[in-house]
Amino acid sequence: MHHLSIANGSLHEVETHIVIAERLGYIEGAVGRQLIAQCAEIGRLIYGLMRSLRTANEQSEGKQTLMRASLLTDDRRLATDD
């Protein structure tokens, strides 16, 4: 997750460089808009991956909690059966 956050920050840095290059006349406006549009798409991909990993992590943690609760219940049953 940390690496995706860094990638997102780097993406914003690239967008800034594109805007600067356009203002200084190194690239034409149409090219700059196309590059910004591509950056926006990459940003959506990064955000989607982050959201997907976050959801998967939360589901995994939920399953682990249920498993621990089940083990505790089993242990208590064994203790009372003695």
DSSP 3-state of 27: coil
pLDDT tens for residues 27-70?
Answer: 999 999 999 999 999 999 999 999 999 888 888 777 667 667 67
Alpha helix positions (H), the chain? 2-23, 29-81
Distance CA 73, CA 21 (A): 64
pTM: 0.68
Nearest partner of 23 among 11, 15, 47, 41, judged by Cα: 15
For 64, the domain range is: 2-81
pLDDT tens for residues 12-26?
Answer: 999 999 999 999 999
Nearest partner of 9 among 34, 46, 56, judged by Cα: 46
